[in-house]
């Protein structure tokens, strides 16, 4: 239930920007590491390869990202922001904060910190067991 509430809140905040959750995830991953390949973006976002490919294509068509040849692989491309995409992407962390503040508004600061710590540990545990 919480996941649906979080996702719905994020989608409501992304709608005015014309973004979907998968597009948002890809742009956030690029903020962390511009120049990632499609495979790397899929691994970071947890999306299957076909879905990552579709998401990147939509972002290319929207002129938010561009594919550039990989320096050491003829088959791979690195994904980079366009000027328009970078301007949009730098707004996204603020949307996350707004959504989190809304959802976690009933918790004290120490409770929020504790919850964030527990969720990080849970994600690390899951990541360790999946890989």
* CATH number for 98: 1.10.10.10
The residue count for the chain: 131
Distance between CA 25 and CA 55 in Å, rounded?
10
At residue 131, the pLDDT reads 56
100 found inside a domain:
yes
* Structural domain total, the chain: 1
Quote the domain boundaries for residue 38.
2-105
53 found inside a domain:
yes
At residue 123, the pLDDT reads 87
* Per-residue pLDDT tens listing for the chain (131 residues): 888 988 999 999 999 999 999 999 999 999 998 999 999 999 999 899 899 999 999 999 999 999 998 888 888 899 999 999 999 999 999 999 999 899 999 999 999 999 999 999 998 898 777 65
Q: Which of 88, 65, 63, 90 is closest to 78 using CA atoms? A: 65
At residue 126, the pLDDT reads 87
Helix, coil or strand: residue 80: strand
* Contacts of residue 103, Cβ cutoff 8 Å, sequence gap at least 6: 2, 5, 6, 9
At residue 129, the pLDDT reads 79
**Contact predicate 52/42, CB 8 Å:** yes
111 found inside a domain:
no
DSSP string, 1-60: -HHHHHHHHHHHHHGGGT--HHHHHHHHHHHHSTT-BHHHHHHHHT--HHHHHHHHHHHH
88 found inside a domain:
yes
At residue 73, the pLDDT reads 85
The model's pLDDT over 23-60, given as tens digits with 9 standing for 90+, comes to 999 999 999 989 999 999 999 998 998 999 999 999 99
At residue 71, the pLDDT reads 87
């Amino acid at each position: 239930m919480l996941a649906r509430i979080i996702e719905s809140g994020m989608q409501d905040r992304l709608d005015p920007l014309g973004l979907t959750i998968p597009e948002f995830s890809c742009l956030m991953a690029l903020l962390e590491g511009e120049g990632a390949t499609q495979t790397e973006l899929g691994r970071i976002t947890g999306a299957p390869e076909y879905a990552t490919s579709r998401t990147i294509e939509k972002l290319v068509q929207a002129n938010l990202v561009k594919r550039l040849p990989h320096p050491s692989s003829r088959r791979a491309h690195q994904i980079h922001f366009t000027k328009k995409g970078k301007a949009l992407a730098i707004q996204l962390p603020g949307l996350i904060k707004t959504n989190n503040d809304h959802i976690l508004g009933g918790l004290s600061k120490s409770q929020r910190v504790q919850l964030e710590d527990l969720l990080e540990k849970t994600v690390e545990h899951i990541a360790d067991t999946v890989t």
